[in-house]
Amino acid sequence: MQSSPIAHQRVLNYAYVDTDTLYQDFQIPQQGYNEKQVEESRIAYGRNVLSGRASDTVLYRLRRAFVNPFTVILFVLAAVSFLTDVVLASNFSRNITTSVIILCMLLLSGIVRFIQELRAKRIADHLTRMVSSTVQVLRNGRWSEISSEELVVGDKVRLFAGDRIPADIRLTQSKDLFVSQSVLTGESAILEKNAGTLADGQARSYSDYYNLAFMGSSVTGGTGEGIVLAVGKDTVYGGFSSMESHLKNGFDRGANSIAWVLIRFMAVLIPVIFIACGLTKGDWLSAFLFALSVAVGLTPEMLPMVINACLAKGSAAMGKKQTVVKNINAMQGFGSMDVLCVDKTGTLTGDQISLEYYMDVLGNECQHALDLAYLNSLYHTGVQSHLDDAILRYREMPGQESHYRELEQRHPKLDELPFDHERRFASVLVRGGTENLLIIKGSVDEVCRKCSHIEYRGERHPIDAHGRDSVHAIVDEMLEDGMKVLAVAYKPLNQETISQDDENGLTLLGYLAFFDAPKQSAAAAIEKLHRLHVDVRVLTGDNQDVAVSICRRLGIDTMHTLTGAELELLTDNEIPVKLEHTTVFSELSPKQKVQVVRTLRANGHTVGFLGDGMNDLPAIVESDVGISVDTAAETVKEVADVVLLKKDLNVLEEGIKEGRRAFANVSKYIRITASSNFGNIFSVVIASAFLPFFPMTALQILLLNLLYDLLCLVLPWDKVDESICAKPLEWSGKTLGRFMRFFGPISSVFDIITFAYLFFVLCPAVCGGTFASLSGSGEQARFIILFQTGWFLESMWTQVLILHLLRTQKVPLLQSRPSRPVMVVTLLGTAVFTLLTFTPMGEWIGLTALPPVYFVFLAVTVFFYLLWVTLAKRWYIRRYHELL
């Protein structure tokens, strides 16, 4: 749901009218709204709650847990089974077991996932509550503090330094009010706000609306009062927050791809089996019902449950590594991700600016420049930036406390002119000895423009062309090293107040060089990501020289860089090629970040985006895996798939590994089970064409798959070869059909051998004659049961043991051991289900005990089957360079 264009325009229109009109239009009394007016406004304009947060309900999580392509397929098959086994069956042969089993699997699968979804929602809600804010509001003639969610349009509010602006507000009063709108615009500049009225056509961007304070912005200095113009989804911030991706995520696309592969196999096999059985048996209704039952057998019944178990286990493992996986489908995205887009500040750097150098105009250390800069940072009440914090930390250094205390006593503050966006420097007047001292600190270009002299080693010299060149030579060198540089200048004055006219004829004293050092862990983390074949692309709004310097220090290739301005000049044909090879993007707008992510996705990459500001929100929505941090803007955390409790690329590296492990185990199950089921169904087609009876009942086929699937429930705890986790894995059905066609018929060869042995050797020997020669229906029934039991056991043994062969590219048991749960459960399960044929329960499902000689034949057959599959696996890997 998007913010209302009418409400949006109302906010902007009130920037051009005076405050008296504002009070009149909203009927605001001097004592503020009363309770009746508050309720009327809430009904008219809505609550101050963002729509994205309201949409993340338990019902939404429940739907996401139970509705996906795999569950839809199985639900349809359960309905088909109910139709064939209950509705169309005779009273004697009705059996609802198949439908019940499938529905139970769907229910268990959905419950597993729903529990994980609720756990993620609880953690996400907790993070949201941690950033909830309060605001001072005038109501009933009293100023009181209320939750920002209780605000309504027309409320009169107060703003203080450190506040997060809770709604879109038209200012009515201000005093040295400075606001950061970086969460909206992506610009790091601090803007001065006041209660003036804009002239027509004066504002072209959000930054130009100096009398409006937008929701989500933060007050960095000063105070203000204003009237609420828009709340919740009607604010500019709310318009961003309600953005929804129009694209399906990678998990859904991959799931659909796999589902369609299975559907296509069903579409081919059902008619073939129907015709073969109808022609050989003569009973076309039974043939149709059996063909539908076989379709049920082709689909891995436990597919949703195994997938959800794998994803939930990976999500739980990430929870122990300072990561909240809000959408467990994102585990697949982690596994497939081959491009990670990150910002610079706080991710590659420590987001902790330090003062590296304080120097004179020629680059020599200068304590005087630091002292004057300290006084400027200490006394000005406007913008207290991270650069000021870095300067003020010098008083905490050993042995410096007394020096700076004495400096403050010697030079008390007299007056100031705060920082503003146009001047780009702050001015402070302090008391001196014989003369007072005007101290200016700010942008190098702007400060130097105000200077007429330079000071070097206590002597003042007029600035000439050579002097200005020297300034730029020193400053440019530091900028290339990735530093931020401020200039310090001063001017003696006899007065005790200052105006902007006094900010001329200054003496340039020196420079301060600041550095946001790269994180010690970042370089190692990037190297690990590269080893995992994940390319790191830096997308920042910062200066190109700074971005390139930081990236170079961290080992990121800076050969190909691009600025936002250069991106605008590229043609539509040039953009995909240029962006494919560019690693560092600087001076980008939020819109351009989206363009980069969209282009990379269009180029075939699975893209993750790590961001924490509202300016990153569109790119997070556009990416395959949206990643945020717990200190990010509230709405950013709401739309992100993953929330990091620590802004560290090492955490992402662990997430990628967990995602690939989860993906690999899901892929094992899908490929091996689907190919085994296809082999069984292929065998049924061949057997149905020659045998005078069905080689296995529909219930036995379903039970065989179910028993195998139950054993596969331990796959989420299986070990995964490091070679599989070393590269991104594609989640799609693109190669599933090839895998099924290659390995499925191999089992059919040994099935046919087993059919021949059972039909021509074992069953005649036990029953006393061939099937055709047996006269009574009871003797023929015993022949059929023996045959079906023999194939049931052979299918089960080959299916379970093939799991060990195809779970790894290496030699199983020797080079790659499965986890202990997989080993124990599969071997124990095979033994238990073999013994099942000797029990009364086996008789209930149409199985019987077989003579010992059959197990000798079975052991020999399985041995040669495993040998053949091993050789085939080696050829397959050499041919296609992959297995899973």
Just list the catalytic residues. Answer: 343
DSSP 3-state assignment of 799? helix
Token output for 279? 């022609």
d(CA 182, CA 629): 17
Token output for 638? 């709401």
d(CA 137, CA 225): 10
- Runs of H (alpha helix) within 85-136: 97-130
b/e 640-675 (16+ beta carbons within 10 angstroms → b)? bbbbbbebbbbbbbbbbbbbbbbbbbbbbbbbbbbb
Closest CA to 302 of 116, 112, 109: 109
Cβ contacts of 848 within 8 Å, gap of 6 or more? 782, 785, 786, 789, 837, 842
The helices-and-strands tally (H runs, E runs) of the chain is 34, 23
Does residue 206 contact residue 166 with C-beta atoms inside 8 Å? no
What is the end-to-end Cα distance of the chain in Å, rounded?
41
Measured over the CA atoms of residue 105, residue 109, residue 110 and residue 112, the dihedral's sign is: positive
Does residue 348 contact residue 340 with C-beta atoms inside 8 Å? no
Does residue 361 contact residue 455 with C-beta atoms inside 8 Å? yes
d(CA 677, CA 709): 11
Q: Which residue has the tokens 């240029």?
A: 578
Closest CA to 765 of 838, 691, 854, 834: 854
DSSP 3-state assignment of 356? strand
Which stretch of DSSP H or E encloses residue 159? strand 156-160
The conformation of residue 704, written as its DSSP 8-state character, comes to H
Does residue 56 contact residue 157 with C-beta atoms inside 8 Å? no
The conformation of residue 199, written as its DSSP 8-state character, comes to P
d(CA 179, CA 192): 6
Cβ contacts of 780 within 8 Å, gap of 6 or more? 771, 774
Cβ contacts of 866 within 8 Å, gap of 6 or more? 801, 802, 805
Cβ contacts of 438 within 8 Å, gap of 6 or more? 427, 428, 429, 490, 491, 492, 493, 498, 502, 503, 506
